[in-house]
Amino acid sequence: MPHSRRRLDLLLLERATAGLDTAKAAELERLLALHADVDPDVYERAAAAVCLASLDASEPLPRSLRSKLDTAAASFLASSSGSRR
Amino acid sequence: MDAYGNLVWALARRLSASAADAEDATQEIFLDIWKSAGRYDSTLASEAVFVTTIARRRLIDRLRARKRRPITEEFDEEQVRVGDDGEAGAIAVEVSIASRALAQLGDAQREILLLGIVDGLTHSEIATATGKPLGTVKTQMRRGLIKIRELLGTESPAEGD
């Protein structure tokens, strides 16, 4: 197994758990460019599944926050529509 | 937001230092989701996993930037349940798969994985919390996540040769 592929695997694992500093993130991008066949999110999806299995998501969204999000969504949609004209 | 508002909020609360921090994080996460929506590939993961992946990425970045540990605190704000029954159903499938996968891990691996992924502890913090050597923590974390990935039915980058 090429060293670069092994290193890529380790960086993807680290990104999925602890995140990467700037230097490692740049190294990851270089390695992903070398190995275009690699799914860059494979471990992040696995970590996401662990979160879903372990998290209590019954906590309701605060009303005030929901209002802010509704406003932000409308603004985002408006700016997205405008940029397509 | 109706489908995943509660999920994103729960993630933000878990990995944020305060209620205000969690609110800021939630808003940033939804902006990330809206910007990334066009990249969603249903053949790779469910919407719930896609949303959670984006949320974790933002939350980990915020934790690293602040070098701050998430703190549990009481939330006194008026809250209303937002979401419909469809949310529970959509998330339940992924939860079932991942729960079965977690149950197949050894106790030590599961503990380390949950401390790192769900509670947001660094490898060093996990080593301190569990009394295990740092090298052991890194190895167990790596092996645990690989196992989860295998059980969910995806390929490893290192197996591509």
The mean per-residue pLDDT over the stretch B90-119 comes to 83
At B79 the three-state DSSP class reads strand
The mean per-residue pLDDT over the stretch B135-156 comes to 81
Q: Looking at per-residue confidence, does A47 or B89 come out higher?
A: A47
Q: How many CB atoms lie within 10 A of CB B45?
A: 23
Which band of pLDDT confidence, cut at 50, 70 and 90, is reported for residue B99?
confident
Does the pLDDT at position B85 exceed 90? no
Cross-strand bridge partners of residue B79 = A62
Query: Residues A1-37: pLDDT tens digits?
Result: 578 998 999 899 889 988 899 999 999 999 999 999 9
The mean per-residue pLDDT over the stretch B111-134 comes to 91
Does the pLDDT at position A65 exceed 90? yes
Which band of pLDDT confidence, cut at 50, 70 and 90, is reported for residue B67?
low
Q: How many CB atoms lie within 10 A of CB B34?
A: 14
Q: Looking at per-residue confidence, does B155 or B141 come out higher?
A: B141
Token couple for A55: 């998290």
Q: Which residues does B17 contact at the CB level (< 8 Å), separation at least 6?
A: B66, B68, B69, B70, B71
pTM (predicted TM-score): 0.81
Of B34, B53, B91, the CB nearest to A57: B91
Q: Which residues of B touch A69 (CB under 8 A)?
A: 1, 5, 26-27, 30
Token couple for B138: 């890194």
Residues 65-84 (A) with a CB less than 8 A from some CB of B:
65-66, 68-70, 72-73, 76
Average pLDDT, chain B: 80
Of A1, A8, A16, the CB nearest to B145: A16
Token couple for B24: 């800021």
Query: Are residues B53 and A72, on separate chains, in Cβ contact within 8 Å?
Result: no
pLDDT score of B89: 56
Smallest CA–CA distance, residue A11 to chain B, in Å, is: 11
Query: What is the DSSP code string of A3-68?
Result: HHHHHHHHHHHHHHHT---HHHHHHHHHHHHH-TTS-TTHHHHHHHHHHHHH--TTSPPBHHHHHH
Of B31, B123, B158, the CB nearest to A18: B123
Q: How many CB atoms lie within 10 A of CB A72?
A: 16
ipTM (interface predicted TM): 0.84
